[in-house]
Structure 1
């Protein structure tokens, strides 16, 4: 009359071994990962090429700046040469003013400070080296080895899978980095040459300034002497007349 209901059987629990045997769900497929790796490699290649392009632009601007500095140095040299030529003409004028002193007043000698020797001679070796380097760059001799090396590296077939594409991008990156290193080396050399050129020009400007100051002082002295002689001629015109008559009577 009174009975007991049978309990439903409890399902057996999964063991740890059975849990491990269940394959994990993959979040992305293998082709997607390969495509992502290729895209990342191409982006890195583009970034390196952009850096190389910027560096080459800076090198071009630096080359123009260096040429401008060289032209400026040559202009300073020519201007200093003109100042030295002016000193020669000034010496002749001072000599004439000194000779006139015996007629109207006491003899006069100009007060000279430092000797004006003009600019220092330009080193022909550097100019020859510069022209030789420019000729080599125009002929492309400096980059001949690099071009051959690049041609050898690019002599590959089309990549067949993602790994080959990634390796090809790595080769392109290495080549671009080599070129970037070469450009940076050129920029370093240009910066050093600019510093040396500026040092030479600063020294040349100092020497030129000293010579100009000396010329200015001597010109002022010659002007004072000429003004004094003119005033004496106006005050004593008979002295000039006597000198003229004496010259005419001299056989």
Structure 2
């Protein structure tokens, strides 16, 4: 079998050296091919970074590189480590202006989220206050019913006229959470409008990006102003409800004291009847 493979290299030297020469020849192309995948991998890795740069170019002008960590660190400290703002190029200052505008937009959106959370808490508090007021009202009506039962059971009136009187409001039935929110008008609270802005092209300059960020900031501040107005009205409603409940609790305390006195009288009558 070895004799069949040797005639293939024609014009070669002795058979002893041919295998090594052929091996060298076969190894040389492999040596040339081996670096190529690494170069391709490097190109792929570079391309992947280039793609990331393309994504980040939305935050900068099309003529300058994307914001990297070094650039952001310079922007955060106001170029204190690189000679100050006055020693920066025009392109660098444009990128810095876009960066600061984006940071302002994020701050406005953060304030808007905080205000939305406060409104959610205020809504739950207002619902709880309303339900508490209904419980106070039902308790008051229950004391009136107990007083009526006491007078009916003994068929007599030792005290001229009922002292416990019903409040002006009619008895309220138990309402669920959704009905309470509907009654308070909390189901129709205006929500911040989701305004959509057309994305800027990749060739947009710094001025266009600044105008886009300015529009986002104006929308966020408008929504924040509406939320603050709602919170103010809800705070007024809470104060009114708490004041009403305080007055109701004062009347309820008087009714409970009177009911306690009448129950004691009823017990005394029962003991006298048992003695007879």
Tell me whether the two structures share a fold, i.e. TM-score over 0.5.
yes
User: Partners of 1:182 and 1:32 in 2: how far apart?
Assistant: 37
Question: Over residues 31-67 of structure 1, what are the superposed CA-to-partner deviations in whole Å (9 max), with x where a residue is unaligned?
Answer: 1100111110011111111111011001001100111
State whether structure 2 residue 177 is matched by structure 1 residue 133. Answer: no
Q: Secondary structure at the match of 2:185?
A: helix
Contact 1:110 1:221 in 2 (8 A): no
The question of 1:118 aligning with 2:179 is answered no
Pair 1:86–1:122, CA change in 2 (3 A): closer
Cα 1:122–1:191, aligned 2, differ >3 Å: closer, same or farther? farther
Give yes or no for contact 2:127–2:180 (8 Å, CA) kept in 1.
Answer: no
Pairing partner for 2:215 from 171, 187, 206: 171
> When the two structures are superposed, what TM-score results if normalisation uses the length of structure 1?
0.65
Alpha-carbon shift at residue 205 of structure 1 (Å): 1.1
Say yes or no: does 1:209 pair with 2:261: no
Greater per-residue helix proportion: 1
Please report the RMSD computed on the Cα atoms of aligned residues, expressed in angstroms. 2.7
1:230 corresponding residue in structure 2: 274
Displacement of 1:27: 1.8
Q: 1:134 to 1:61 in 2, by over 3 A?
A: closer
**Structure 1 residues 71 and 211, CA gap change in structure 2 (3 angstroms):** same
Structure 2, gaps ≥5 residues long: 1-85, 173-178
- Asked if 1:200 is matched to 2:274, the reply is no
For 2:228 and 2:171, the matched residues in 1 are separated by 27
Alpha-carbon contact 1:119-1:208 (below 8 Å) kept: no
Higher RCO structure (Cα 8 Å, ≥6 apart)? 1
Query: Equivalent of 2:133, from 73, 81, 90?
Result: 73
Unaligned runs of 5+ in 1: 1-25, 99-108, 234-251
